[in-house]
């Protein structure tokens, strides 16, 4: 089964063998990796949340040498979500935020998620 087309999404999710790790959540970016061991060369999408609010869905398709060395397909299962200007007011409010990452279309939460960040207020940003 290839990466494009093929089985319906629900069937793929039912047969999936997801794994992944939420490496970092800080005031600048969120990153980690996710893959489906049954489809090792097909990227999965991840959902990034602040609490229950979906911030972004993005592909876990960035190359990572550590994953390739571990035999995870070609190793293209990393993701990085920069917290750009759009999120600065939301995140840089001096309050704790619970950042969690799941595989999109599933209930699978990456290992080591959620992570709490508490970014200082930037004067003039609020």
Total domains, the chain: 1
**Distance (Å, rounded) from C-alpha 111 to C-alpha 41?**
21
**Residue 6 covered by a domain:** no
**Residue 9 covered by a domain:** no
Taking Cα atoms as reference points, which of 70, 66, 69 lies closest to residue 31? 66
Tokens describing residue 32: 């980690």
The pLDDT, as a whole number, for residue 84 is 82
**Distance (Å, rounded) from C-alpha 21 to C-alpha 77?**
10
* Percent above pLDDT 90 for the chain: 71
What are the tens digits of pLDDT across the range 35-88?
999 999 999 999 999 999 999 999 999 999 999 999 999 999 999 999 987 787
Longest Cα–Cα distance of the chain, Å, equals 52
**Residue 7 covered by a domain:** no
CATH number at residue 25: 2.60.40
The pLDDT, as a whole number, for residue 59 is 98
Name the pTM for this structure.
0.88
What are the tens digits of pLDDT across the range 84-117?
877 877 888 899 999 999 999 999 999 999 999 9
Angle among Cα 16, 17, 22 to the nearest 5 degrees reads 115
**Residue 67 covered by a domain:** yes
**Residue 56 covered by a domain:** yes
**Distance (Å, rounded) from C-alpha 92 to C-alpha 112?**
22
Question: Which structural domain, as residue segments, surrounds residue 73?
Answer: 15-118
**Residue 44 covered by a domain:** yes
């Amino acid at each position: 089964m290839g990466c494009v087309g093929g089985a319906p999404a629900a069937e793929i999710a039912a047969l999936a063998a997801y794994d992944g790790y939420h490496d970092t959540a800080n005031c600048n970016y969120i990153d980690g990796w996710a893959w489906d061991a049954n489809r090792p060369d097909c990227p999965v999408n991840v959902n990034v949340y602040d609490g229950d609010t979906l911030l972004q869905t993005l592909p876990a398709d960035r190359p990572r040498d550590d994953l390739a060395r571990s035999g995870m397909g070609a190793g293209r299962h990393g993701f990085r979500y920069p917290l750009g200007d759009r999120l600065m007011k939301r995140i840089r409010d001096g309050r704790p935020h619970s950042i969690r990452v799941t595989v999109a279309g599933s209930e699978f939460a990456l290992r080591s998620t959620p992570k709490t960040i508490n970014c200082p207020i930037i004067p003039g940003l609020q």
